[in-house]
Structure 1
């Protein structure tokens, strides 16, 4: 896998803290609260990232993007999906049109703008 620097180190840290004390670890606390709580936090961070993207404030967008990546890694860790699997999927898609790739997915979610 390509060296992902801080992202890979963050993933390692999250995975190491899965068994930490929820009283002293944010990661352990969210994992203790369960998948629904973690998914909700991911959704909140995604919304905050969208708001920051529309605000024209690069500092806010950078901070929210970091929060979003953190919570995405937490969701992956909770599901025991390695970051390497996500990177392999991105590598598989490389060089393929996004429209072509999306249309070829067997379990693609239906578009909201279609009846």
Structure 2
């Protein structure tokens, strides 16, 4: 899995590609977020459009990150989950817990009022 991250207007944007199935990928994602949390960020968008496969470990990490941001008074938005991640979110009923945006612009819109 590859991970890229940027911060713009107080929102951490993480783009993932490949498979989100456990170490070292999940460790890398958690480390990326933890590095940015030192910057007092409370809002995050994770682009899942290029994730081919996600398992229970990957889902667990997403839940952990959601909890981390919400406990700081922030929010996490998932961007355009590909087919398999979308099915996994539906099977686990987590599609009712996560905010899902169709694209990056929509995610930023959903997070910006909260960030101000």
TM exceeds 0.5?
no
Q: Which structure is higher in strand share? A: 2
Name whichever structure is richer in helix by fraction.
Answer: 1
Query: What's the TM-score, normalizing by structure 1?
Result: 0.27
**TM-score calculated relative to the size of structure 2:** 0.26
Larger Cα Rg: Structure 1 or Structure 2?
Answer: 1
